[in-house]
Amino acid sequence: MPELPEVETLRKDLLVFLKNKRIVDLSIKLERLIKSDLKEFKKTIKNNSFKNIRRVGKLMIFELEKSDKTLLVHLKMTGQLIYVSQDSLVAGGHSDSSSPEFSENKYSKLIFQFSDGSKLFFNDMRTFGALKLVDVRELIEIINKFGIEPLQKDFRLKSFQKIVEKRSLNIKALLLNQNLVSGIGNIYADEILFRAGVRPDRLSKELSKSEIKKIWQSTEVIIKKAIKERGTTFNNYRDARGKKGNFVKFLKVYGRGGEKCKKCKSVLNKIKLSGRGTVYCSVCQK
């Protein structure tokens, strides 16, 4: 599941690969993923190029050279953006370990072809992904809905405290709400709360100032580390080269329900919280 660290890793790599390359062809295998008028979409993308790639939360923002509109790409659960250079395409084989694991396959729903012979594959197994062209007004409207973002200047303790203080939902649901805090998904929510020593089912408004501070600090530490490790590949996520993220080695609780806590050796609890699988340690988290 691509969350902030995965999308940020992709953004940085894709910017290097794609910047100012002319898109000579666009192949759309599943029209449902395009949330704009299809004719307009094709017309706008073809012969255009990406002049910059930005990101808000888990949303990628592709700025176009020859249009006032902007391309938004959301990977949702299983979306991938895999870049393959002409050299790799000519070589053809994906047999050696350095070649992309996932390039063109039955899940390739969109294929961008560039003038230098390289290709960008939008692969999506569960097809929740979304691509949309928006004008400046709509872009601002969408961006404004996102909450404060870890690693951005507005992610200050005071702002975070204000969001957490008076809300009557559990702290995990708060962390997952993109309108309050942006970029955190199920993996990092569990990891952040483990590091902070706070149970995910604690009511937001009942947390002490020091607990709020610990969650705030842990958010920065975990997200930073995850970006440094190029994200988490639990099952589906791949980077722009088709490679896995390394943060899975550092997961303390996510996906470890029933296993022993790495800190205290007691068995980790697994519960359902706001409809999401949630793992925590009842000894280390209070």
Partner DNA sequence: CCTTGTGTTCTCCG
Partner DNA sequence: CCGGAGAACACAAG
Q: Which residues bind DNA (CB under 7 A)?
A: 1, 3, 57-59, 74, 76-77, 125-128, 167-170, 173, 176, 178, 185-187, 204, 272, 274-277
The closest alpha carbon to 150, from 198, 196, 182, belongs to 182
| Rounded CA separation 99/141 (Å) | 40
Active site residue 58: yes
Centroid of chain to Cα 17: 19
For β-strands 50-56 and 79-84, DSSP reports them as unpaired
Q: Which of 12, 213, 244, 276 is catalytic?
A: 276
Q: Is the Cβ of residue 66 or residue 126 nearer to DNA in the bound state?
A: 126
Q: Is 104 a catalytic residue?
A: no
Q: Give yes or no: 150 in active site.
A: no
Q: Which of 3, 6, 8, 191 is catalytic?
A: 3
Tell the smallest beta-carbon distance from residue 72 to DNA (Å): 10
Question: DSSP alpha helices (H): ranges in the chain?
Answer: 4-18, 38-45, 86-91, 136-145, 157-165, 171-176, 186-196, 209-228
Toward DNA, which CB reaches closer, 19 or 32? Answer: 32
In whole angstroms, the minimum distance from the beta carbon of 150 to DNA comes to 14
Tokens of 130: 């979304």
Of 55, 58, 243, 252, the active-site residue reads 58
Nearer to DNA, 113 or 170 (CB): 170
Question: Closest CB to DNA among 168 and 210?
Answer: 168
Q: How far is the CB of 244 from DNA (least distance, A)?
A: 17
3 is an active site residue: yes
Residue 27 CA: distances (Å) to CA of 33, 34, 216 = 12, 12, 43
The distance of closest approach from Cβ of residue 124 to DNA in the complex, given in angstroms and rounded to an integer, is: 9
Task: State the Cα torsion 258-276-249-152 to the nearest 10°.
Answer: -150
Positions marked active-site: 2-3, 58, 276
